[in-house]
């Protein structure tokens, strides 16, 4: 199922349900992510650190395991959106 949210829109992805997101506009998108229960912010901080340090795959695997996150893929392509 593909849900498209325009500026100011809202989408909900329940915990443990595989999901992804992409910005389809010409300008970079902005995302407000609310995670309940608390703890997602620690994952996002770790992910930010990994990206800023060059994207080490082993570090990402360790972060995902520690955060109970499973990457499924391949990544979403804009051609998948239509």
**CA 14 – CA 37 distance, rounded (Å):** 11
Render pLDDT for 20-56 as a digit per residue (tens, 0 to 9).
Answer: 888 788 888 888 888 888 888 999 999 999 999 998 8
Mean pLDDT of the chain: 85
Model pTM above 0.75: no
pLDDT bucket at 78, cuts 50 / 70 / 90: low
**CA 42 – CA 24 distance, rounded (Å):** 27
pLDDT bucket at 5, cuts 50 / 70 / 90: confident
> What is the rounded average pLDDT of the residues 58-73?
91
Q: What is the pLDDT of residue 15?
A: 81
């Amino acid at each position: 199922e593909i849900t498209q949210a325009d500026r100011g829109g809202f989408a909900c992805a329940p915990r443990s349900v595989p999901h992804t997101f992409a910005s389809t506009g010409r300008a970079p998108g902005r995302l407000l992510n609310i995670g309940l229960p608390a703890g997602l912010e620690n994952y996002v901080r770790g992910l930010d650190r990994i990206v800023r340090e060059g994207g080490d795959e082993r570090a990402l695997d360790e972060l995902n395991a520690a955060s109970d996150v499973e990457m499924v893929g391949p990544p979403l392509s804009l051609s998948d959106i239509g």
